Amino acid sequence: MDNSGTVADHDGLSAIFDRISAIGAHSGQGVTRLAASAEDGAARAIFAEWMTRGGARMAEDAVGNQFACFDWAGENAPWVFAGSHLDTQPRGGRFDGTLGVLSAGCAALGLQAEKQAGGFKSARNLAVVNWTNEEGARYQPSLTGSAVFSGALPLGEALALRDGAGISLGDALAGIGIVGETGSVPPRPEAYVELHVEQGRTLTEAGCRVGTVEGTWAARKMTVRWIGRAAHTGPTPMADRCDALLAAALGIAAFEAVMAEHYPRLHRSAARLVVEPNSPNVVVERATVWFELRGLDISELDRAGKAVLTAFETAAVDTGTRLEVSADALRAPAGMDGGLVAIVDHTARLCGFEPLAMRSVAGHDAVALQNSGIPSALIFIPSVDGIAHHPDELTLAEDMQAGLTVLTAVLRHLAEGGYGNGQAR
Amino acid sequence: MDNSGTVADHDGLSAIFDRISAIGAHSGQGVTRLAASAEDGAARAIFAEWMTRGGARMAEDAVGNQFACFDWAGENAPWVFAGSHLDTQPRGGRFDGTLGVLSAGCAALGLQAEKQAGGFKSARNLAVVNWTNEEGARYQPSLTGSAVFSGALPLGEALALRDGAGISLGDALAGIGIVGETGSVPPRPEAYVELHVEQGRTLTEAGCRVGTVEGTWAARKMTVRWIGRAAHTGPTPMADRCDALLAAALGIAAFEAVMAEHYPRLHRSAARLVVEPNSPNVVVERATVWFELRGLDISELDRAGKAVLTAFETAAVDTGTRLEVSADALRAPAGMDGGLVAIVDHTARLCGFEPLAMRSVAGHDAVALQNSGIPSALIFIPSVDGIAHHPDELTLAEDMQAGLTVLTAVLRHLAEGGYGNGQAR
């Protein structure tokens, strides 16, 4: 394994990072660049223009995943992918996702320059990828683009997803000019590598600058609806009311109580709630809540899920409403690809870092791909104070530099065939 | 007092009622005709065309209140108003408000025909009024148009109100062609009469077809916001979270518990909740809840309000969030105008009904006007099963007929000067 060659171009990364970060940014409000929005479209255009100028050939699949292709090794050679996503949460941070796409772009441009200078010989083609709707803020489920690419989610289902305003993903993509595949989209890659900010404090507390993610927590995501009956909030006798918002409030309160008492190790949340009709003068007819439970142990998630469903049913009975579980999906804990984890670990050490083997609580595109059989690696760098999905999200410049250095070295190694031919396994 | 003259034109009422009820109607979903929406615009146009064809002169003030004017008694004569509102709740009923406007229109047309036939001599001008945004579904506070007309709410404040999408009432009105006063808007009337469906079961349970509303309950309307901190719902350690939706859920649950235990006579509701950013993967940063308490006794509302504010503060402390009370308004119990109540009671008896003296739990335009010094009367007719703000809202044809008969007789009496000159007081 060779760690020589160009120094990772951190100044180039800063420049493009600042350009993309300005798209959807509002002072003090972070960045709002929801999937398939006008802002997402603007960021995609800048990314494509930047990559094209650097010598890449752009392709896009029908769900809007962007591929900046470097056809270094010819039509029949295997591919290596690196990337992440450019969409954000509402009022989200600048680093989540964006850093992974742009670091991969910088690494590719560096390797391209190195290759042209004769510094390395590539046995693989490389694509820098921007996956569509990773966040799941506008369209649920999240990880949409990577799930479609890897075959876990049918394209038709993805395009039919609807946002809170009823706009389908297909229509939203068409609204930013994406109406089908363009260019020649590369095949399933031999390996995928993603650099991402940790969004927790584990690296900082361990004093490490680089994390090699060995696997993820499991997650159980439940969408639960209470159905009551609309009525006037004034004259309707209290005994006649079936109040779905009261049911949801009791459900959320019971969820917290059950989890805090019996499952304190699990992470839990109720973060989205849709109320209908949501008029101050109409008793709520329907309240839909998105719950998440996350942990390492599937059997614990299973027990916790049963317990909270019982609590939800009690909330329905106590309010005269009816409970409907409209989604209840388990994401099994993923183990990332062992061979790639070893390469990342070894490469990070060659680059002078002491990497921390760790697990990811959150899902990422690398996890979606790995779960669908594409060998994937996930590299973490620190988040200041662990702040994520918030305008104050921050990763320090020296940590970005560290991440870019390791990513570039890993991609050089993979492009040389360091994984596919088995020499590093 | 004379009850002779034309029979109230129930067939005419059915025809126009069916026409207006079709605007914003969706099968099984009731009627959605939010204030200043395209549907509201369409209903207004039909109302104006119908009244104009019947001989009225239309005028509109700057907040969009429509006045169908019958200038029977000359420029210097006092005015009598009758009406209600054409806006609805989302998925609301057909009768609420609409019946009052159209019954007043039918009564006016009947009196106009009677006058032309020499059957009565009017000493007053009459206007049939459609008040803007009575419901408060799209813009809070409710009763907007009547409050502006009567001077309780400055026009500028009303036009600056914003809906959930951030659209101002002024812009929404401009969107349906209302950009300022048109025609000559009549002055403050001598008396205002409103026919409305009861939205409760009191009349049915008493076996009465007509109710004379002597006054209303008081209402306390509180808008309360919990402010937490956005964070990733996955990796963020549970101890680091400040979850505004959890706070709101605990607040709503505590509100119900406190009210049910200590203030069971009051009507209570939490029917609107705005969650930000409302993404499944972001711990909620801001949750805003609209609470209402209604009762007859202001001191009880005062004590209950204090108790629930304490509970809201506890919810904030328990979740590490911050409580903000963004609105806390008391609507005092109104007594309707005694002279007009007596006229309605007497007239109803002359028409062959045994009217029930009752109180209104809900606010209505008549209450807003009465509270601002315009003598007002409110006549109730039964709602089947008391269902209101729901697609199943229903008032039977014979009850509509009864209401129209009494309203017409009351308006004939008032137009003859039966209130303003004191002969009936």
| CB–CB contact B282 A292 (8 Å) | no
What is residue A355's three-state secondary structure? Answer: coil
Q: Among B1-15, B140-154, B183-197, B328-342, which stretch is predicted with the lowest mean pLDDT?
A: B1-15
Give residue A128's Cα distance to chain centre: 16
Q: Report CA-CA distances (Å) from B296 to B206, B213, B223, B333.
A: 20, 14, 21, 7
Residue B224: how many CB atoms within 10 A of its CB? 27
Contacts of A240 in chain B (CB under 8 A): 386
Nearest Cβ partner for A230 among B142, B362, B389 = B389
Convert the pLDDT of each residue in B352-395 to its tens digit.
999 999 999 999 999 999 999 999 999 999 999 999 999 999 99
B5 confidence band (pLDDT: 50, 70, 90): very low
Interchain pair B231, A387: CB under 8 A: yes
Chain B residues whose beta carbon lies within 8 Å of the beta carbon of residue A283: 269, 271, 389
Token digits of residue B35:
């204030």
B235 and A281 within 8 Å at the Cβ level: the answer is: no
Mutate to test the interface with A, among B223, B224, B238, B269 (most CBs of A within 10 A): B269
Q: Show residues of chain B in contact with A295, CB under 8 Å.
A: none
CB contact under 8 A, B200 and A236: yes
CB A122 within 8 A of CB A115: yes
Packing angle between helix A298-319 and helix A244-262, nearest 10 degrees?
Answer: 150
Closest by CA to A289, choosing from B185, B243, B75, is B243
Strand spans (E) along B112-201: 125-130, 191-197
**Does B9 count as an annotated binding residue?**
no
Token pair for B282: 């972001």
Q: Cβ of B386 and A360 within 8 Å?
A: no
Cβ of B279 within 8 Å of Cβ of A136? The answer is: yes
- Report pLDDT for B420: 75
Over range B141-162, report the average pLDDT: 97
Buried-exposed string A285-302: b where 16+ CB fall within 10 A, e elsewhere: bbbbbbbbbbbeeeebbe
Structure tokens at A373: 């059989």
Residues in chain B with CB shorter than 8 Å from the CB of A217 are 234
Residue A422: how many other CB atoms lie within 10 Å: 9
The per-residue pLDDT for range B77-94, each reduced to its tens digit, is 999 999 999 999 999 999
Chain A, nearest residue to B290 by Cα: A280
DSSP state of B369: H
Partner-chain contact B217 A234, CB within 8 Å: yes
**Strand extents, DSSP E, A31-104:** 57-60, 66-70, 79-84
Q: Is A127 exposed, middle or buried (0-12, 13-18, 19+ CB in 10 A)?
A: buried
Which one, of B196, B205, B31, lies nearest residue A237 by Cα? B205
Residue A5: HSE in the Cβ half-sphere, 13 Å Cα cutoff: 30
Q: Do A267 and B243 touch (CB under 8 A)?
A: no
pLDDT tens by residue, B243-280: 999 999 999 999 999 999 999 999 999 999 999 999 99
Token pair belonging to B359: 């109180």
- What confidence tier does A421 reach under pLDDT thresholds 50, 70, 90? low
ipTM confidence: 0.88
Q: What percent of chain A has pLDDT over 70?
A: 96
Chain segment A101-132, per-residue pLDDT in tens: 999 999 999 999 999 999 889 999 999 999 99
Nearest CB partner across the interface for B290, out of A280, A294, A361: A280
- pLDDT higher than threshold 60 for residue B424: no
Which positions in chain A touch B275 (Cβ < 8 Å)? 272-273
Identify the pLDDT of residue B331: 86
Backbone angles phi, psi at B17, to 5 degrees: -60, -45
Dist CA B92 CA A50 (whole Å): 52
| Per-residue pLDDT band at A8 (split at 50, 70, 90) | low
Rounded Cα–Cα distance for residues B134 and B365 (Å): 7
Is A134 one of the annotated binding-site residues?
A: no
Q: State residue B119's pLDDT score.
A: 85
Cβ-Cβ contacts under 8 Å between A and B: the total is 238
- Beta carbons of B292 and A219 less than 8 Å apart: no
From the list A137, A281, A388, which residue is nearest B389 (CB)? Answer: A281
User: Which of B238, B279, B388 lies closest to A232 in CB terms?
Assistant: B388
pLDDT class of B215 with cuts at 50, 70, 90: very high
- Residue A70's SS3 state is strand
| CA distance, residue B311 to nearest chain A CA (Å) | 14
CB contact under 8 A, A91 and B135: no
Across the interface, whether the CB atoms of A279 and B90 are under 8 A apart is answered: yes
- Over residues B22-58, the pLDDT tens digits come to 999 999 899 999 999 999 999 999 999 999 999 999 9
A283 CA: distance to closest CA in chain B (Å): 5
**How many Å apart are CA A401 and CA A10, to the nearest integer?**
6
Please tell me whether residue A141 adopts helix, strand or coil conformation: coil
Binary contact (B199, A235; C-beta < 8 A): yes
State whether A199 and B234 contact (CB < 8 Å): yes
* Local structure of residue B84 (DSSP, 8 states): E
Question: Per the CB < 8 Å rule, is A252 touching B256?
Answer: no
pLDDT over 60 at A223, yes or no:
yes
Q: Choose among A249, A281, A363: nearest Cβ to B253.
A: A249
Nearest to A137 among B271, B281, B284 (CB): B281
How many C-beta atoms lie closer than 10 Å to residue B11's C-beta? Answer: 7
Mean pLDDT, residues A367-392? 96
What band does A294 get if pLDDT is binned at 50, 70 and 90? very high
DSSP character for A386? G
Which range has the worst mean pLDDT, A6-20, A401-415, B318-332?
A6-20
Residue-level pLDDT at A332: 85
Domain boundaries, chain B: 10-217+334-415, 219-330
Superfamily of domain B10-217+334-415: Zn peptidases (3.40.630.10)
Sign of the Cα torsion B184, B185, B186, B187 reads negative
CB contacts, 8 Å: A292 with chain B: 233-234, 280-281
Chain B interface, mutation test: which of A224, A282, A359, most B Cβ atoms within 10 Å?
A282
Q: Which of B143, B121, B122 is nearest to B69 (CA)?
A: B122
**CB A389 to CB B232 under 8 A?**
yes
Nearest CA in chain A to B360: A235
pLDDT (mean) for A195-203: 96
Q: Interhelix angle for B10-21 vs B397-415, to 10°? A: 110
Q: A-chain residues within 8 Å CB-CB of B283? A: 269, 271, 389
Q: Residues of A with CB below 8 A from B142's CB?
A: 280-281
**Least CB-CB distance to B280: which of A140, A243, A282?**
A140
Among the four given CATH numbers 3.20.20.140, 3.40.50.1820, 3.30.70.360, 3.30.830.10, the one describing domain B219-330: 3.30.70.360
| Nearest residue, CB atoms, B235 vs list A264, A273, A386 | A386
